[in-house]
């Protein structure tokens, strides 16, 4: 059996047939089921031993084989490539059913493993199921099976169990990739949020964020945990602790970003991790409170909600609105409903109803309804208030991006919002819009007056080459941030005094103490921890001056590292500012060797997101996973599907 198979596939160089239905990997001794094909073995090599399996274009020699081609051109999918941001599928075209080969290189030797069309189509099927969140049972649907058979009669459609194994194997590959990134990253930032599925079960998810060595920002799903029906703070704490501990991250978390509810804050603090409130949620509360305190705007919002609900619930009314829009030469646009948890949905609702005011009024006049249309005075209030809220809508959109650096924007955004409100407050003439602007100023001052003193936000703004010290409205706070940055940079230099061009090893997740703090200025013996290599000279007086000499050496080391750090920080701050629309990570990619210690700190602080939006996107997508056809889906399967889906989106 073995010799027969060896003539067709080199995968047998790594496997031994131990029973008619079992094979054993020669690299890790794991046993796999054998069903008279090499699919499982190839997947095992790709996921567990990628360096041992590379692909060659050569079709010559004893190990190549060519299957009969069918008429026509068939589209094939290449193997999925796992990158720092997840899983990506690439597409290529080929004619017939010839075996597929791709290129790679193994260290020190060359091994050929042939991929077949069956495996390529298996990968494409997994990609489709994950990306479109289709149930595994789709392969058992008669219509789908008939469609696949029509496309390619030679393709053997796998069953549900085989698909689940493929998904599991792919997830292991991704997890290995994520682990490898985290191993070489000193710090990881986390976000977390809770959500409820369509079946009324509560879940909590945690996402991780880091800046890789190549200065690329990566986001990944760490896990999803199901909470008890009547969950309490202790259940949330246990779930978070398990998700964080399973990845060994407790000592390397730069910040844990959550909404500012009492239970979320309490659970993070109990974990001993720095909790940072989601600024997007803070801004959401600021605007909602301001609008609710503007009574005339509240009345108009209530009336607008009633109009939108009428058109949404009445098919005839919706059709009539579309007809009127066509007659008036307006774009055919549906009205947008308001969502209570998102303030910008109120903005979108008012903006759309203002743009379509003539069409809405004309449609309502021809329909049998007691809904009172908005008047010209109401629309003037909407127009003026939209002008006040426009900058807040722009800020919310910028904070929601998870693929761009965001925490560094918090301080400059707050400053720009205050300046913009001040300008508009003097230019607005309508009393309702003026009241709204005053309410926003008051709420913004109450909630965000101290953002420039938050070390995480201050250092991230300072390390963003687009903002630096210009981010700060208070130059006293800016100077304090520079001192803190210099202190942390000096600590990194002391860790690696002779290796400025090499990134320093991992440190703890806490902020490094300042050289002027009691921890470094005390003359107590337990603080004298300088090595003999950095002391001025070895004492020859029987130890009488040993402690003094050590303290002198320590003081000189601190002064030297502080001076070096000050030079590095000042040189960075004197560099030209980066254009605001550019990606700051491109700057650090080019300057990682120029400012090696600052780059290390940039990897820590620029990985922090400004909001928990990444987790919110997870449970928004999870709504497609939890459906009636997936009522028995296990928690592990849900995690795997969401992990792969996040990589493919």
Q: What's the pLDDT tens digit per position in 250-309?
A: 778 889 898 887 878 888 888 888 889 889 889 999 999 999 999 999 999 999 999 999
Query: Measured between alpha carbons, how far is 60 from 229 in angstroms, rounded to an integer?
Result: 62
Indicate whether 311 and 442 sit together in one domain: yes
Residue 366 lies in a domain: yes
HEC-encoded secondary structure of 136-191: HHHHHCHHHHHHHHHHCCCCCCCCHHHHHHHHHHHHHHHHHHHHHHHHCCCCEEEE
Percent of the chain exceeding pLDDT 70 equals 70
Q: What pLDDT band is residue 244 in, cutting at 50, 70 and 90? A: confident
- At 204 the three-state DSSP class reads strand
Q: In 3D, which of 484, 639, 624 has the Cα closest to residue 565?
A: 484
Closest CA to 460 of 247, 271, 217: 217
Pair (584, 525) in one structural domain: yes
How far is C-alpha 350 from the geometric centre of its chain's CA atoms? 31
In angstroms, the CA 176 to CA 132 distance is 24
Half-sphere exposure of 326 (CA within 13 A, CB side): 6
The CA–CA distances, whole Å, from 551 to 84, 498, 529, 547, 563 equal 45, 20, 9, 6, 18
Task: Indicate if 292 and 437 belong to the same structural domain.
Answer: yes
Largest CA distance in the chain: 105
51 falls in which pLDDT band (50, 70, 90)? low
CA–CA distance, 178 with 165 (Å, rounded to integer): 20
Residue 107 lies in a domain: no
Contact criterion met (CB below 8 Å) for 31 and 22: yes
Strand partners, 112: 54
- Mean pLDDT of the region 355-361: 94
d(CA 279, CA 3): 64
Q: What is the pLDDT of residue 643?
A: 59
| CA–CA separation, 332 and 321 (whole Å) | 8
One domain for residues 196 and 294: no
Q: What is the mean pLDDT of the chain?
A: 75
* Digit-coded pLDDT (tens) for 189-203: 888 887 776 667 777
367 within a domain of the structure (yes/no): yes
Mean pLDDT, residues 206-215:
84
Q: Give the model's pLDDT for residue 638.
A: 61
Query: At residue 526, what are phi and psi to the nearest 5 degrees?
Result: -65, -15
HEC secondary structure over 284-310? HHHHHHHHHCCHHHHHHHHHHHHHHHH
Kindly state the tokens that stand for 347. Answer: 């903005």
Contact indicator for 74, 152 with CB cutoff of 8 Å: yes
Per this entry, what is the length of the chain?
Answer: 649
Give the separation between CA 504 and CA 424, rounded to whole angstroms.
48
Number of domains in the chain: 4
Cβ contact 46:174 at 8 Å: no
Are 260 and 340 members of one domain?
A: no
Higher confidence at residue 247 or residue 60? 247
Q: Is the pLDDT of residue 75 over 90?
A: no
Q: Which domain holds residue 270?
A: 168-278+611-648
Tokens 């190990």 belong to 63
Contact 87, 95 (CB under 8 A): no
Q: How confident is the model over 519-544, as a mean pLDDT?
A: 42
pLDDT for residue 109: 37
pLDDT, residue 23, reads 85
Q: State yes or no: pLDDT of 313 exceeds 50.
A: yes
Q: Is residue 136 part of a domain?
A: no
The predicted pLDDT at position 579 comes to 93
pLDDT, average across residues 409-415: 94
Burial 276-286 (b: 16+ CB within 10 A, else e): bbbbbbbbbeb
- Centre a 10 Å sphere on the Cβ of residue 380 and count the other Cβ atoms it contains: 14
Verify that 597 and 548 share a domain, yes or no.
Answer: yes
Residue 165 predicted with pLDDT over 90: no
25-49 average pLDDT score: 78
Calculate mean pLDDT across residues 230-252.
75
Q: What's 416-484 look like in SS3?
A: HHHHHHHHHHHHCCCHHHHHHHHHHHHHHHHHHCCHHHCHHHHHHHHCCCCCHHHHCCCHHHHHHHHHH
Name the pLDDT band for 561 (thresholds 50, 70, 90). Answer: confident
Asked if residue 380 is part of any domain, the answer here is yes
Element (H, E) at 77: strand 73-77
Task: Say if 132 falls within a structural domain.
Answer: no
251 or 637, higher pLDDT: 251
Q: Is residue 531 part of a domain?
A: yes
CB of 645 closer than 8 Å to CB of 131:
yes
- Please tell me whether residues 288 and 409 are part of one structural domain: yes
Residue 89 three-state SS: coil
Residue among 78, 151, 162 at smallest CA distance from 120? 78
What was the pLDDT predicted at 475?
A: 92
Residue 18, pLDDT score:
82
The percent of residues above 90 in pLDDT, for the chain, comes to: 32
Give 362-392 pLDDT, tens digit per residue.
Answer: 999 999 888 889 999 999 999 999 999 999 9
pLDDT at 346: 94
Residue 648 has pLDDT above 60, yes or no: no
128, 214, 82, 169: which is closest to 647 by C-alpha?
A: 82
Average pLDDT, integer, range 313-332? 92
Considering the domain architecture, whether residues 572 and 493 belong to the same structural domain is answered as yes
Bridge pairing between strands 31-33 and 22-25: antiparallel
81 membership: H or E segment, kind and range: strand 81-83
Q: What CATH number is attached to the domain comprising 180? A: 3.30.420
* β-bridge pairing 31-33 and 91-95: unpaired
**Per mean pLDDT, which range of 79-88, 123-132, 560-569 is the poorest?**
79-88
Whether residues 619 and 594 share a domain: the answer is no
- The residue-averaged pLDDT of 158-164 equals 83
Residue 170 has pLDDT above 70, yes or no: yes
Of 84-88, 419-423, 440-444, 508-512, the poorest mean pLDDT is in 84-88
Mark whether 602 and 617 lie in a shared domain. Answer: no
Please count the other Cβ atoms lying within 10 Å of the Cβ belonging to residue 242.
12
- Whether 498 and 375 map to the same domain: the answer is no
Q: Is position 250 within any domain? A: yes
Structure token pair of residue 606: 């620029």
CA 112 to each of CA 6, 76, 94, 97, 408: distance values in angstroms, whole numbers, following the listed order:
12, 20, 20, 19, 48
Averaged over 78-88, what is the pLDDT? 33
501 or 286, which is more confident: 286
Q: Which of residues 451, 471, 500 is at a domain's end?
A: 451
Could you report the per-residue pLDDT of 606-616, keeping only the tens digit for each? Answer: 999 888 776 66
Mean pLDDT of 535-550: 59
pLDDT grade for 511, boundaries at 50, 70 and 90:
very low
Do 322 and 408 share a domain, yes or no?
A: yes
Answer for the pair 429, 389: CB distance below 8 angstroms, yes or no.
no
pLDDT tens column, 97-138: 233 333 333 333 333 444 577 888 888 888 887 777 677 778
Q: Which of 406, 429, 451 marks a domain boundary? A: 451
pTM assigned to the model = 0.67
pLDDT of 78 above 50: no
pLDDT at residue 420 above 80? yes
**Does position 544 have pLDDT exceeding 90, yes or no?**
no
């Amino acid at each position: 059996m073995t010799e027969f198979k060896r003539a067709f596939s080199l995968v047998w160089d790594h496997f031994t047939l131990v029973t008619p239905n079992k094979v054993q990997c020669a690299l890790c001794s794991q046993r796999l089921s054998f069903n008279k094909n090499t699919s499982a073995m190839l997947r095992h090599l790709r996921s567990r031993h990628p360096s041992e399996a590379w692909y060659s274009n050569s079709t010559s020699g004893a190990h190549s084989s060519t299957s009969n081609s069918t008429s026509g051109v068939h589209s094939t999918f290449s193997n999925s490539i796992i990158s720092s941001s997840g899983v990506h599928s690439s597409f290529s075209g080929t004619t017939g059913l010839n075996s597929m080969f791709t290129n790679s290189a193994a260290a020190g030797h060359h091994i050929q493993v042939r991929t077949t069309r069956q495996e390529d189509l298996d990968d494409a099927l997994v990609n489709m199921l994950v990306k479109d969140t289709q149930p595994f049972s789709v392969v058992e649907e008669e219509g789908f099976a008939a469609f696949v058979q029509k496309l390619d009669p030679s393709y053997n459609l796998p069953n549900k169990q085989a698909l689940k194994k493929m998904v599991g194997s792919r997830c292991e590959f991704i997890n290995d990739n994520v682990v490898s990134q985290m191993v070489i990253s000193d710090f990881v930032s986390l976000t977390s949020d809770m959500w409820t599925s369509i079946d009324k079960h509560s879940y909590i998810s945690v996402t991780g964020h880091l800046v890789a060595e190549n200065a690329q920002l990566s986001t990944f799903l760490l896990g999803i945990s199901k909470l008890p029906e009547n969950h309490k703070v202790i259940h949330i704490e246990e779930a978070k602790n398990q998700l964080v501990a399973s990845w060994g991250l407790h000592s390397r978390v730069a910040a844990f970003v959550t909404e500012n509810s009492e239970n979320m804050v309490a659970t993070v603090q109990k974990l001993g991790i720095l909790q940072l409130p989601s600024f997007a949620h803070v801004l959401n509360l600021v605007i909602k409170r301001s609008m609710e305190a503007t009574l005339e705007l509240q009345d108009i919002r209530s009336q607008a909600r009633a109009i939108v609900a009428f058109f949404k619930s009445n098919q005839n009314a919706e059709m009539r609105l579309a007809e009127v829009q066509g007659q008036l030469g307006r774009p055919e646009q549906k009205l947008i409903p308001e969502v209570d948890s998102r303030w910008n949905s109120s903005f979108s609702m008012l903006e759309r109803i203002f743009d379509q005011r003539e069409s809405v009024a004309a449609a309502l006049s021809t329909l049998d309804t007691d809904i009172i249309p908005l008047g010209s005075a109401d629309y003037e209030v909407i127009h003026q208030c939209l002008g006040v809220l426009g900058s807040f809508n722009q800020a919310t959109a910028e904070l929601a991006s998870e693929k761009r650096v965001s925490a560094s924007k918090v301080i400059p955004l707050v400053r720009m919002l205050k300046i913009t409100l001040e300008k508009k407050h003097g230019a607005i003439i309508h009393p309702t819009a003026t009241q709204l602007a005053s309410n926003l100023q008051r709420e913004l001052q109450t909630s965000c007056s101290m953002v420039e003193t938050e070390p995480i936000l201050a250092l991230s703004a300072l390390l963003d080459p687009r903002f630096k010290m210009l981010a700060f409205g208070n130059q006293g706070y800016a100077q304090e941030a520079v001192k803190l940055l210099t202190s942390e940079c000096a600590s990194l230099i002391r860790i690696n005094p002779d290796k400025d061009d090499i990134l320093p090893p991992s440190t703890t997740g806490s902020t490094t103490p300042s050289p002027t703090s009691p921890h470094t200025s005390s003359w107590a013996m337990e603080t004298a921890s300088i090595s003999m290599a950095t002391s001025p000279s070895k004492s020859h007086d029987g130890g009488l001056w040993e402690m003094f000499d050590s303290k002198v050496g320590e003081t000189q080391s601190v002064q030297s590292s502080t001076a070096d750090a000050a030079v590095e920080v000042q040189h960075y701050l004197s560099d030209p500012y980066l254009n605001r629309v550019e990606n700051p990570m491109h700057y650090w990619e080019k300057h990682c060797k120029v400012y090696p210690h600052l780059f290390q700190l940039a990897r820590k602080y620029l990985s922090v997101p400004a909001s928990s939006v990444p987790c919110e996107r997870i449970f928004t997508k999870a709504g497609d996973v939890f459906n009636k056809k997936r009522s028995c889906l296990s928690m592990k399967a849900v995690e795997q599907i969401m992990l792969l889906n996040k990589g493919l989106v």
